Structure 1
Amino acid sequence: MPAPQDPPPAGSRPATLPELRIPGGRDAAVPMATPESVPTVDPRLAVALGRPVHGDSVAKRAGRSVRKLGSSAAQDVAEESRIGRELQQPVTTGRVIAVTSIRGGVGKTTVAALLARSFNHYRHDPVLALEADGALGTLPVRLGVESVRWSCADLADILTPAMQLTDVTGYLVPVTDGGWLLPASQGRLGAPLSMRTYRTVTLALRRYFAVTVVDCETLPGEVARTAMDTAHARIVVAPMTAEGVGGTRLVLDWLAHLPHSALATTVVALTANSPDMTLDLKTATAHLREAGVTVLPVPYDRHLAQGGPIQTALLGRATRQAAVALAAEAMERAVRVR
């Protein structure tokens, strides 16, 4: 993939429409109406978000501090170094990691946001979070983006092979902690993302971004099935409930019948959306592993459960570890595909 150029500072926006370099030896500005900027959260509701809470309680953090005095710091450093090496693996072409689930409300978008933040933290090349869920998706909110302008459909109409990274990022939203976002819509009900638009955007943007994390619609949506079939790695988010695990196992059986053995590059994120989950974790994990996939739990986190923008510093320690481990597993599988 081409060497990345230095992106403009986070939060900056081009004063005018970026110029498109059209093949043929001449540069030309393509006239196109600029969409209006739309806030991701209605200002009337922003005040209702409340003060963000830490994922771990004060008592839990205090207890961990005491235990840490007797723990081996060398082991922690060694494990972090190992995961860092996996996340920083070089790629020759951009890797696409698709995230989906069998129903909404199970943490699909949250997992996608955590993955994007993990890759942005560890990698030094460009990372893109792409929202492919046009049904009022919340990825911009979870990534802390205040407003959106250009959407997948807008960009699909103007992408050309001659565009440089600086041209493309002029149409994307810079994320505060690093990386870029391309939303599926402007937060309004409208036509769902088409399969043609998804293919056009993902194939074109792979040239510029080392990793693209795609927040897909739920299965069995057409775009979700296409994304799962064409991605380099897949994350299936399963809620820690009997029906959620059972439905996800059916998805894994479907993946097993794809012509290119998609199960080998699939990881299941088993999410707990309540501190009082009753389903036995070992039993649920074993049932999903029978399909031949890796299963990683994502624990309940008070900060994530609160909704709104995710602040990495406020995540519980176990949640941060789970997010990084999940990103490392996905990256390890994505680089297998040549």
Structure 2
Amino acid sequence: MPQQAPAPLPDGAVSPAPSTSVNPYVTPHPYLGQYAPAAGAETADARRGFLRRRGGRVSGPEQQRLVRLQTPVPRPYRISVTSIKGGVGKTTTSAMLGLTFSRYRADRTVVIDANPHAGTLADRLLGERVMPTVRDLVTADRRRRETGGPGLTDPLQIHQYLGQADRLMVAASEQNPEISELFDEEQYRTAQDILTRAFDIVITDSGTGMKHSAMKGTLATTDRLVVVAAPRFDAARRAAKTLDEVHAQGYPHLVRDAVVVITMDSPKAVGINMNTLVDYFRQLCTHVIRIPYDQQLYMGGTIHYDQVSSATRGGYMDLAAILADGFAAVPPAR
């Protein structure tokens, strides 16, 4: 039986110290301070893990990728992972990207499930369980403001409504379809505002489709767009349609700087030339990344990062490094 979610804190209450946290889905750890990434240097844990996986040897390109991945970010950076078509690996990509950033960076990363139709992000990262949702987070913030308070500002308060996988924090979607339909643009913007008070990188696993209200808020607050495709003609066409829709809604800069991720959902693409597919997407946006097939990921169960193949982890490291390359060009928060 899944454990019951902890009750939201009463209005005006102060969050307990980490050692007495009431959220069973969070492993307490000290908060390092907002916007305090590593100054371009490797963390000791990341260095040890990287060397262990490579048998103690690090090549020049691998070292360079790791340094790129750890580029400092001067303000909260918001990445949205999307696709019009479901079943192409969008949630898997959101989860693995978040796990990669949290594994190799010293700052804080959170991934939010903005799917209005009972998304599965939390299940993929935490296993099936009853836990607080992004709606609980937004409701708690609103109640505090209604009583004259500043809302949820303490990171420990915010963590009460999140789960944790490794060092990655997870904001789960509402699982009741009748309620989750009501998660709209205003609530999504509120959730983004709350999370950027405590985290340096916010990754949104958006729902399929481009017309629902929450998607409007997603595009309006996004710094970088990741569009997911699979090596099939229908999936490729829908990925291109996703870019067209984003452009039509008034965000040509997101299309220009987008990263298309082609996730291999079988060991080998059948009936489609991968080089042709990559060249096609390179005519539409700046970067295209191919993620190798991994049986553990495509079984659809809970993701265990260290059990993912080294080739697939490397693909997601390449994706994270490309996204981190853009951090240096981000103007500081005003």
TM-score by length of 1: 0.75
Letter in 2 for 1:262: L
Task: Pick from 220, 239, 246 the counterpart of residue 255 of structure 1.
Answer: 246
Contact 2:77–2:202, Cα closer than 8 Å, also in 1: yes
Answer yes or no: is 1:166 the counterpart of 2:156.
yes
Q: Is the contact between residue 130 and residue 181 of structure 1 (CA under 8 Å) also seen in structure 2?
A: yes
The equivalent residue for 1:45 is none
Are 1:233 and 1:334, in contact at CA under 8 Å, matched by a contact in 2? no
Counterpart of 1:286, as a letter, is D
Change (3 A) 1:16 1:321: same
Does the Cα contact within 8 Å between 1:239 and 1:245 map onto a contact in 2?
yes
| Residue of structure 1 equivalent to 2:86 | 104
In structure 2, what is the Cα distance between the partners aligned to 1:268 and 1:129? 19
Whichever residue aligns with residue 180 of structure 1, its letter is M
Task: Determine if contact 2:229/2:236 at 8 Å carries over to the other structure.
Answer: yes
Q: Whole-Å Cα distance in 2 between the matches of residues 337 and 143 of structure 1?
A: 29
Task: Give the Cα–Cα distance (whole angstroms) in 1 for the partners of residues 124 and 5 of structure 2.
Answer: 24
Counterpart of 1:261 in structure 2: which amino acid? H
- Which residue number corresponds to residue 45 of structure 2? none
Alpha-carbon offset, residue 276 of structure 1: 3.6
Shift in Å, 1:277:
1.8
Over 3 Å counting, the alpha-carbon distance change for 1:18 and 1:92 in structure 2 is: farther
Alignment of 1:79 onto 2:61: yes
Residue correspondence of structure 1 range 321-336 to structure 2 within 5 A? 321-336=314-329
Deviations 1:215-273 (A, max 9, x none): 10012242234313421111100111112112222322343453561123310001121
Q: 1:237 to 1:162 in 2, by over 3 A?
A: closer
Gaps spanning 5+ residues in structure 2: where?
15-22, 26-53, 142-149
Give, as a single letter, the amino acid of the residue that structure 2 aligns with 1:300: Y
Partner residue of 1:138 out of 80, 103, 120? 120
Cα pair 1:95 1:212 within 8 Å, conserved? yes
Once the 2 structures are TM-superposed, how far is the Cα of residue 91 of structure 1 from its aligned partner? 2.0
| 1:214 matched residue in structure 2 | 204
In 2 relative to 1, CA 218–127 (structure 1 residues): closer, same or farther, beyond 3 Å? same
Selected match of 2:184 from 182, 187, 194 = 194
SS at match of 1:237: strand
Shift of 1:84: 2.0
Of structures 1 and 2, the larger Rg is shown by 1
CA-based RMSD: 2.8
Q: Would you say the 8 A contact 1:232–1:335 is kept in 2?
A: no
